[in-house]
Structure 1
Amino acid sequence: MHLNLIPLLLTLALAWPGPPVPVWPAGPPPALVWPVSPSPPEILRGWQPPPGPYAAGHRGVDLAAPPGTPVLAPAAGTVTFAGPVGGRGAVTLTLPDTGTPPLRTTFTPVTPLVPPGTVVTPGTPIAEVTAGTHCPRSCLHWGLLRGEEYLNPLLLTRRAPSRLLPLDDD
């Protein structure tokens, strides 16, 4: 190994955030799908957790999606809310067997397609994206909560592991 690479590798190792925080209580997560197509969708704005419970932040991710795009259940669950919140349509899907309190995933701005109490499987259409002012262009805001704590919904997705590639000496 080239000696000039050691500081770079050490810096990367110390700054590396490590594996994602598991959100399932035990074992692998169930089969999951992205809530909109194409899969994976373009992420317009990422998750930016606030420094405190009442501080400004972005408590979800914005996925590019034009109005009328079907919103799919990313996992099996029960629709526990479908209606307006702050003048925008919203849907909440509660995921079973995810601990106490259970995980809830939220979607806005949408027109709900199913009423509260509906049990769905992954990929079931639960809403349609509506026009909104949350993003500079049309998007779906996807949130994830455990109790009152907001989590990064991208923790629900499967991503290829990162790996280091050899440097070309040429």
Structure 2
Amino acid sequence: MRTPHRARIRSVPLLALATVLTSAAWAGPPARRGPTPPDPAAAVPAVARLWPVGTRPAVVRGWDPPETPYGPGHRGVDLAARPGDPVRAVADGRVVFAGEVAGRGAVSVELSGTGSPPLRTTYEPVRASVHEGDAVSAGDVVGTLEAPAVHCLSTCLHWGLRRGAAYLDPLSLLPPWLLSRGPSRLLPLHAPAR
């Protein structure tokens, strides 16, 4: 007996679906292509002991990671500061670059004891007072902030953080007590009469 044309059309998609499900069940787990690389952001230790400028500078622009390696974004944070302000290493490390990049002064410090590949902080625009290979401790001056560039509307320090090729949020280096605005204060319930 012949199956009507309409019934054959309906049974073909069901047969195809059954074939796909059966082959997927027999395929087993997906093949691995080697070890999964660790997430670079997962292990950012709070090793910073101070802010790179001032005691609690305003964050003019926050970290905004790009969706793709060459996509738009902000690969660091901008901190309010004045030209001539000292720029300090936030943690112990070794200077791996001190010079100019695209006409702006920059300093890069590889942080000690931060894993492999190690974390690296960058500071710009900075007139370097250190040289490549110099050891620095937290709080050591690495340079002075240069006059405003096109990066900020007013003067700011661009502070960056990388692990290998991955850009990370430099604020993650700061322990919670450096990020807070200070201890809570109790105020009187009633204002004094005037």
Is 1:103 aligned to 2:119, yes or no?
yes
The letter of the residue matching 2:152 is C
Q: Conserved in 2, the CA contact under 8 Å of 1:89 and 1:112?
A: yes
Aligned length, in residue pairs: 138
Q: 1:45-64 residue pairs with structure 2 within 5 A?
A: 45-64=61-80
Residue by residue over 1:98-149, the C-alpha shift from the partner in whole angstroms, topping out at 9 and shown as x without a partner, is: 1111000000111000111110110000011101221000000000000000
Residue by residue over 1:75-96, the C-alpha shift from the partner in whole angstroms, topping out at 9 and shown as x without a partner, is: 0000110000011000000001
Give the drift of 1:21: 4.5
- Unmatched runs of 5 consecutive residues or more in structure 2: 1-40, 181-194
SS of the aligned residue for 2:159 comes to: strand
Aligned to 1:68: 84
- Give the one of 139, 148, 155 matched to 2:156: 139
Aligned to 2:171: 154
Aligned to 1:121: 137
- Unmatched runs of 5 consecutive residues or more in structure 1: 1-19, 163-170
Larger radius of gyration: 2
Give the drift of 1:72: 0.4
Structure-1 separation of matches of 2:151 and 2:167:
18
SS of the aligned residue for 2:63 comes to: coil
The letter of the residue matching 1:103 is L
SS of the aligned residue for 2:176 comes to: coil
Aligned to 1:88: 104
SS of the aligned residue for 1:155 comes to: helix
**Alignment RMSD, CA only?**
1.7
Residue by residue over 1:15-40, the C-alpha shift from the partner in whole angstroms, topping out at 9 and shown as x without a partner, is: xxxxx94413xxxx445211000x11
Residue by residue over 1:37-92, the C-alpha shift from the partner in whole angstroms, topping out at 9 and shown as x without a partner, is: 0x111100000000010101000000001110100000000011000001100000
Aligned to 1:78: 94
TM-score in terms of structure 1 length: 0.77
SS of the aligned residue for 1:127 comes to: strand
SS of the aligned residue for 1:82 comes to: strand
Structure-2 separation of matches of 1:56 and 1:40:
28
Q: Conserved in 2, the CA contact under 8 Å of 1:22 and 1:155?
A: no
Structure-2 separation of matches of 1:66 and 1:21:
33
TM-score in terms of structure 2 length: 0.68
Aligned to 2:44: 23
